[in-house]
């Protein structure tokens, strides 16, 4: 059994499944095609995914709608700090949705920096992303 399968079996139970349905995720990535598998996985749980390709579009979406969690890449275009800029802009606007940075590279130093800036976590591993997102949406207040 793969690690991902073990994680999914532990997280997805008859009790938890209804709690994921309708939870809203804003996914910010200028190359959304790179996340097709992950998006499908969250949608299979009944989560609603809104995809955005830019920080500006994401902030507009956040000003109009509530999201239970925000997933962002770090690099968009030539901006190597786009994930942190989105996180900073959200906090300046008092948008308190949990933010997870899902980027092409990850290590303990990157994760520590992301958390120090207010992110829930930082990863490049789909299994860890799944754990972070499902944990965050289960802690989100009911709306």
Mean pLDDT computed over 72-85: 92
Look up the pTM and report it: 0.90
The string of DSSP codes covering 79-120 is: BTTHHHHHHHHHHHTT----EEEE-S---HHHHHHHHHTT-S
Cα gap 62→6, rounded to integer Å: 33
Number of domains in the chain: 1
pLDDT per position as a tens digit, 50-73:
999 999 999 999 999 999 999 999
Q: Can you give the CATH number for the domain in which 121 is found?
A: 3.40.50.2300
- For residue 124, tell me if it sits in a domain: yes
**Domain assignment of residue 37, yes or no:** yes
- Residue 111 falls within a domain, yes or no? yes
Distance separating alpha carbons of residues 80 and 125, to the nearest angstrom: 19
């Amino acid at each position: 059994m793969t690690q991902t399968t073990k994680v999914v079996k532990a997280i997805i139970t008859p009790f938890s499944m209804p709690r994921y349905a309708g939870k809203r995720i804003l996914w910010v990535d200028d190359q959304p095609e790179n996340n097709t598998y992950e998006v499908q996985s969250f949608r299979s749980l009944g989560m609603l995914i809104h995809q955005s390709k830019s920080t500006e579009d994401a902030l507009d979406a956040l000003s109009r709608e509530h999201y239970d969690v925000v997933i962002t890449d770090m690099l968009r275009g030539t901006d190597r700090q786009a994930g942190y800029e989105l996180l900073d802009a959200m906090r300046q606007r008092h948008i308190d949705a949990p933010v997870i940075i899902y980027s092409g590279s990850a290590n303990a130093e990157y994760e520590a920096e992301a958390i120090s800036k207010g992110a829930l976590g930082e990863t490049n591993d789909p299994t860890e992303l799944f754990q972070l997102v499902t944990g965050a949406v289960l802690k989100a207040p009911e709306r």
